[in-house]
Amino acid sequence: MSDSAAPTILVVTDKAHVSPVNSKDRPFPLEWTRNIGIAAHIDAGKTTTTERILFYSGAVHKMGEVHEGTTVTDWMEQERERGITITAAAISCAWNASWGPWKGIKQRINIIDTPGHVDFTAEVERSLRVLDGAVAVFCAVAGVQPQSETVWRQANKYRVPRVAFINKMDRTGADFFRAVSEMREKLKANAHPIFLPIGKEENFTGLIDLVQNIAYIFEDTTDPLGMEPVTREVPAEFVAQTKEYRDKLIEAVSDFDDVIAEKYLNGLEISVSELMLGVRKATISLQFTGVVPGSAFKKKGVQRLLDCVVNYLPSPIDVPPMQGQDSDGKPVEAVVNDKAKLAGLAFKLWNDPFVGRLVFFRVYTGTLPRGMALYNPRTRRTERVSRLVLMRAIEREEIDMAYAGDICAVVGVKDVITGDTLCDEDFDIRLEPPSFPEPVISMSIEPNSKADQEKMGTALQRLVAEDPTLRVKTDQDTGQTILAGMGELHLDIIRDRMKREFKVEATAGKPQIAYRETVKTSADGEGKFIRQSGGKGQYGHVCIKMEAAEKGKGVEVINETVGGSIPKEFIKPATEGILEGANNGVVAGFPVVDVIIRITDGSFHEVDSSELAFKMAGIFAFKDAMKKATPILLEPIMGVEVTTPEEYQGDLMGDINRRRGQIQGMENKTGACIITAHVPLELLFGYVTDIRSLSKGRASASITPSHFEQVPNSLLAKIVESNAKGPART
């Protein structure tokens, strides 16, 4: 999303006054549509919250439970067996807000329930890329956890406004205000309660709405499903606290609304509708996050969360137009409008056993009828849509038309990858695709029989198309197939899916670490490629300067030649050669990162020079410079957060030290000790199992990628030797 200011926020309460960008045929006007994601750390309660939303909105008639394996959005066998979300599931429902300008008006809410486990971060990444708003779920006991921070950064990157839901208020150790404080400290969020809890732990009995200045009381005995909370005046013992936090809310919102600011400064009364619109403006500005307490499992607060989704999160028309580029690289916008030319983003692929390949598609502008021919600017080919479906997790609803702002699935388009733009042939636009992290772990995989060999190739081809963080390559020395992914669980799930969905039996090798290489100093390099074998020869000559770049920079190549020492047409192949050389460093053959290469000079032959010669010269120049620039090997370091009873604290800290870990901090929270540390990935295989043994099953750990660090010299020779032998087998 662009950095430009959001459009004027309008509150449209009847179809007669909806924006003219709406088609007359669409069932829900854009103003009454919300595309949201549910995102959080693992076990914060995202899927349970989604189940309650579906129940209260009437989309399902029985609440599913994660521990029973009966949830709608966790439909994969592996998800139900393990009690975790693996793939982002899309589902739609409708909600009548209980108050506010849209009271009694059904709003369409398209929801994507995303995974919490870091191994499936790509699902969160691509979902947030196409959503207009998000509900960030936090645990009231654990507060802001490592993956919460990752999700928050992803939402910031794609400029997604969000509302926070502090879940599990019924649990022992729940502390709403501490969780809000952690949001401010750890996430740097401008977080303010828009509801206050009445009680906590087993005494959590209701919510106070700071905007309306009323209380909602849950009667467990007379209303066990929480369908009709009782509306009352704020209880006397909470009046002072309510006034304090309502004043703080008004003060925070006044920064985003001139009417509220003027009234606040002059001590005038601010109406409920003015404050609601002020909170909405503040939320959509991305500079404010409203916070709601609740307990999804105990069926408390989810309806109020739905009211917040409708009243405070943006519709597709409230957010800036999606940015793209034309074929000349000039900026182009996809402005939301049913009557414009079609443009949308393919953000996910899925192989459905019944209908074949499903392409999940966000329509940004225009309309998509069934049977339409879609143009793909990447392939420059047109493909026809045979079927159009709305997803209900694993179930599908056939539709004839998708409108601007809709999220649907397309059947019939074949040559599509995640991040492709699909549009009208005469609309010159390529929308910005989501970006994905690099894999951190790899392992060899071999079919158990010749019959499985061909099936494995097909299975991996489909799985790689679905998952942008999964990579497959063949080891040149051993001929083994190497799978690379985001973690042990990620690769384990891939193997499981190969067995269940594709009937491929395969044996996995020992996991390998995705090391990287870089340089510490600057150096010059020269590459010459000269071949003379009678007739036309080959001649390429490239001189470069290599220097270290800042972390996360990757590899940057800059042409600084002057005077035509290398003709313009040979700069591109020389650059390609340099980048190809960077795929295999000189220390142990791992990819090179964080270097800047300047092409400074070279020479050519009027007859013998060719693109191939300059590409080879680029490779040679890169290797030459890197050998001289003090090359080093980098290993992935993981951020580890361990939560343990205090009596096991010493044992677990000792275990971290044995793994070359560095303790970053310790914190005591409600009888538990939280240890944060940086530990090399190499020494974390099987870590969760080990800490359970050390703590008699009472400790838990969260592991997230942190950064790369230089491998100690004492271990370098061992790693280089191990890599020279190829991936180990088991």
Q: What is the pLDDT of residues 384-405, one digit of tens each?
A: 999 998 876 556 788 899 999 9
The distance between the two most distant Cα atoms of the chain, rounded to a whole number of Å, is: 99
3-class SS at 113? strand
DSSP 554-576: -EEEEE---TTSS-HHHHHHHHH
Please say if the pLDDT value at position 7 is more than 70: no
Cβ pair 278, 256 in contact under 8 A? yes
pLDDT the model gives residue 16: 60
Based on the domain organization, do 124 and 218 belong to the same domain? Answer: yes
**What distance in Å separates the CA atoms of residue 673 and residue 89, rounded to the nearest whole number?**
34
Residue 167 lies in a domain: yes
> Exposure pattern of 633-661 as b/e (b: 16+ CB <10 Å)?
bbbbbbbbbbbbeeebbeebbebbeebeb
Residue 724 lies in a domain: no
pLDDT the model gives residue 541: 95
Based on the domain organization, do 582 and 642 belong to the same domain? Answer: no
Residue 26 lies in a domain: no
For the ranges 141-145, 514-518, 573-577, 700-704, the lowest mean pLDDT is seen at 700-704
pLDDT tens by residue, 296-305? 989 999 999 9
Taken in order 131, 329, 420, 426, is the CA torsion positive or negative? positive
3-class SS at 200? coil
**What distance in Å separates the CA atoms of residue 303 and residue 285, rounded to the nearest whole number?**
24
Domain-terminating residue out of 480, 511, 542 = 511
Based on the domain organization, do 427 and 547 belong to the same domain? Answer: no
Residue 21 lies in a domain: no
CATH number of residue 675's parent domain: 3.30.70.240
Please say if the pLDDT value at position 33 is more than 70: yes
Strands (E) in 514-630, as ranges, are 516-519, 523-531, 538-548, 555-559, 595-603
CATH number of residue 344's parent domain: 2.40.30.10
**pLDDT, greater one: 67 or 266:** 266
DSSP 255-305: TT-HHHHHHHHTT----HHHHHHHHHHHHHTTS-EEEEE-BTTTTBSHHHH
pLDDT tens by residue, 515-528? 899 999 999 999 99
Based on the domain organization, do 448 and 425 belong to the same domain? Answer: no
CATH number of residue 572's parent domain: 3.30.230.10
Based on the domain organization, do 417 and 445 belong to the same domain? Answer: no
515: which residues sit within 8 A by CB, 6+ positions away? 588, 590, 633, 634, 635, 636, 711, 719, 723
pLDDT the model gives residue 64: 59
Residue 718 lies in a domain: no
Closest to 96 (Cα-Cα) out of 302, 307, 272, 273: 307
Please say if the pLDDT value at position 231 is more than 60: yes
Based on the domain organization, do 274 and 172 belong to the same domain? Answer: yes
Based on the domain organization, do 211 and 197 belong to the same domain? Answer: yes
Cβ pair 252, 190 in contact under 8 A? yes
Across the beta sheet with 538-548, the strand order is 523-531, 538-548, 595-603, 555-559
Closest to 665 (Cα-Cα) out of 640, 648, 689, 691: 640
pLDDT tens by residue, 415-429? 898 889 999 999 999
pLDDT the model gives residue 730: 28
Based on the domain organization, do 413 and 447 belong to the same domain? Answer: no
Cβ pair 664, 678 in contact under 8 A? yes
CATH number of residue 448's parent domain: 3.30.70.870
Cβ pair 679, 637 in contact under 8 A? yes
57 exposure class (CB count in 10 Å sphere: 0-12, 13-18, 19+): buried
Mean pLDDT across the chain: 86
Based on the domain organization, do 57 and 186 belong to the same domain? Answer: yes
**What distance in Å separates the CA atoms of residue 125 and residue 500, rounded to the nearest whole number?**
26
Tokens coding 333: 């916008």
Tally the domains of the chain: 5
Based on the domain organization, do 702 and 594 belong to the same domain? Answer: no
Question: Range of 342's domain?
Answer: 323-431
pLDDT tens by residue, 243-291? 999 999 999 999 998 899 999 898 899 999 999 999 999 999 999 999 9
Domain-terminating residue out of 431, 460, 485 = 431
**What distance in Å separates the CA atoms of residue 431 and residue 346, rounded to the nearest whole number?**
10
**What distance in Å separates the CA atoms of residue 203 and residue 125, rounded to the nearest whole number?**
37
8-to-11, 257, 285, 318, 566 alpha-carbon distances in Å: 10, 12, 11, 7, 53
Residue 716 lies in a domain: no
Please say if the pLDDT value at position 319 is more than 80: yes
Based on the domain organization, do 155 and 100 belong to the same domain? Answer: yes
Side-chain half-sphere CA neighbours of 335 within 13 A: 10
Residue 729 lies in a domain: no
Based on the domain organization, do 335 and 297 belong to the same domain? Answer: no
Tokens coding 145: 């956890």
Cβ pair 365, 343 in contact under 8 A? yes
Label each residue of 409-436 as H, E or C: EEECCCCCCCCCEEECCCCCCEECCCCC
pLDDT band, residue 59 (cuts 50/70/90): confident
pLDDT the model gives residue 2: 38
**pLDDT, greater one: 638 or 86:** 638
Residue 6 lies in a domain: no
Domain-terminating residue out of 260, 291, 312 = 312
